[in-house]
């Protein structure tokens, strides 16, 4: 408490007593001023120009807003912009194929599919907000069913975008497009009789591009602001949602890919769901998703690790080391699942990658979740065989 300098007791004290009291008062006022100055912040991580952080608190929540803003600006917004633009390019390439059927046009459509699927895998590490609300995966990368696609192609109902949309997710997205582009179905695409198949393929591409474009647009505006401002630790706040998305992506690489691949004696021993799709990029897709998750984890002053570091520098160090080890390990695995069995060295590298990814998963699920007070929920793939 600041002394009452005008009270009668003060008048009875000696000069030394008065000096000590005054120095104590000045020191306390200085501390109060410094504390108030520390609570203010000239930065504006919400990006709206007014510096308002409704609902935030002093300390961790202010830093959290800045960290979330960097994740949004450096990863999420560019990630969905890239997905939207790559799907637009893919739709245009299919349109060209339909207009002028030929081998070169088919090759161009296949070439456009590859960056589109990679862009999708990148976004799986932060598939929250509008992507979750609009069920983007249903339009872009649902696990399409070849038999359902073949029935649509053999039928007589329309294959324009709206007709395809009401057929359901089993015939939507880039996985459906992979079936058409990279199997024997593609043979008809280079002939004059491939009009129906190509129209269906174009409708799939358009539906995916439209869905991704809507999500990208929302992330460029209101969704970004909501993400940055939601600095709490509730289940629907940004950090818990983001940590769950990252953890689910790492778990998928471990539990629904590398673990089973390493345990199998041969490619043929794998369940169909663990094998390559027709394009032969099964491990490339997993690697892209994992590396995106590692980008979100961050290092030093960036990403989830920076928030962990405020609570436990030791945990943050272990997290960053595990992420770096996993990143280095997956760099050496082949693009295709089948490629793992090329030689013993490749199999050994896959085993190392499986071990490092599993270690990263364990740290996320246990130490990181505990430090941040976040519950890791079940993902859509948990329990999937």
Question: Measured between alpha carbons, how far is residue 303 from residues 132, 147, 246, 333 in Å?
Answer: 21, 42, 11, 26
What confidence score (pLDDT) does residue 54 get? 35
Tokens linked to 222: 């209101």
Identify whether the C-beta of residue 222 lies closer than 8 Å to the C-beta of residue 195: no
User: Would you kindly state where each structural domain of the chain is located, as residue ranges?
Assistant: 60-226, 233-372
Q: What is the pLDDT along the chain (385 residues), one digit of tens a residue?
A: 333 433 333 333 333 333 333 333 333 333 333 333 333 334 445 454 444 433 333 334 438 999 999 999 999 999 999 999 999 999 999 999 999 999 999 999 999 999 999 999 999 999 999 999 999 999 999 999 999 999 999 999 999 999 999 999 999 999 999 999 999 999 999 999 999 999 999 999 999 999 999 999 999 999 999 999 999 999 999 999 999 999 999 999 999 999 999 999 999 999 999 999 999 999 999 999 999 999 999 998 999 999 999 999 999 999 999 999 999 999 999 999 999 999 999 999 999 999 999 999 999 999 999 999 999 998 765 544 4
In this structure, are residues 171 and 204 in contact, taking their beta carbons and an 8 Å threshold? Answer: yes
What CATH homologous superfamily does 60-226 map to?
M75 peptidase, HXXE motif (1.20.1420.20)
Please state, in angstroms and rounded to a whole number, the distance separating the CA atoms of residues 376 and 321.
Answer: 21
CA dist 157 and 148 (Å) reads: 13
- b/e string for 60-81 if b means 16 or more Cβ within 10 A? eebbbbbbbbbbbeebbbebbb
Q: Answer positive or negative: Cα dihedral of 381, 289, 354, 282.
A: positive
Looking at the whole model, is its pTM more than 0.85?
Answer: no
Q: What is the pLDDT of residue 48?
A: 47
């Amino acid at each position: 408490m600041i002394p009452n300098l005008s009270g009668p007791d003060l008048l009875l004290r000696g000069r030394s007593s008065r000096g000590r009291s005054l120095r104590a008062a000045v020191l306390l006022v200085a501390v109060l001023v410094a504390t108030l100055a520390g609570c203010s912040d000239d930065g504006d991580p919400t990006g709206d120009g007014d510096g308002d952080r409704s609902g935030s608190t002093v300390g961790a929540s202010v830093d959290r807003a800045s960290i979330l803003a960097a994740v949004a600006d450096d990863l999420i917004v560019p990630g969905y912009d890239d997905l939207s633009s790559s799907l637009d390019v893919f739709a245009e390439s299919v349109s060209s194929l339909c207009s002028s059927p030929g081998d070169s046009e088919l090759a161009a459509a296949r070439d456009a599919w590859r960056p589109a699927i990679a862009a999708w895998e990148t976004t799986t590490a932060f598939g929250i907000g509008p992507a979750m609300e609009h069920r983007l995966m249903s339009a872009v990368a649902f696990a399409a069913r070849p038999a359902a696609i073949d029935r649509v192609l053999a039928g007589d109902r329309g294959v324009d975008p709206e007709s395809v949309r009401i057929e359901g997710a089993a015939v939507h997205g880039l996985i459906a497009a992979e079936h058409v582009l990279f199997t024997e179905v593609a043979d008809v695409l280079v002939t004059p009789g491939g009009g129906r198949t190509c129209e269906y393929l174009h409708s799939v591409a358009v539906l995916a591009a439209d869905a991704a474009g809507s999500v990208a647009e929302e992330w460029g505006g209101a969704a970004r602001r909501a993400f940055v401002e939601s600095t709490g630790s509730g289940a629907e706040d940004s950090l818990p949602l983001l940590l769950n998305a990252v953890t689910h992506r790492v778990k998928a690489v471990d539990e629904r890919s590398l673990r089973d691949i390493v345990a199998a004696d041969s490619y043929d021993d794998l369940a169909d769901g663990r094998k390559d799709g027709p394009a032969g990029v099964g491990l490339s897709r997993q690697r892209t998703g994992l590396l995106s998750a590692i980008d979100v984890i961050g290092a030093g002053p960036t990403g989830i690790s920076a928030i962990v570091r405020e609570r436990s520098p030791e945990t943050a160090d272990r997290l960053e080391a595990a992420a770096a080890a996993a990143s280095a390990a997956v760099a050496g695995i082949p693009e295709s699942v089948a490629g793992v069995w090329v030689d013993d060295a490749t199999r050994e590298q896959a085993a190392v990658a499986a071990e490092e990814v599993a270690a990263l998963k364990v740290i996320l699920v246990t130490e990181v979740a505990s430090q941040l007070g976040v519950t890791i929920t079940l993902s859509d793939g948990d329990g999937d065989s």
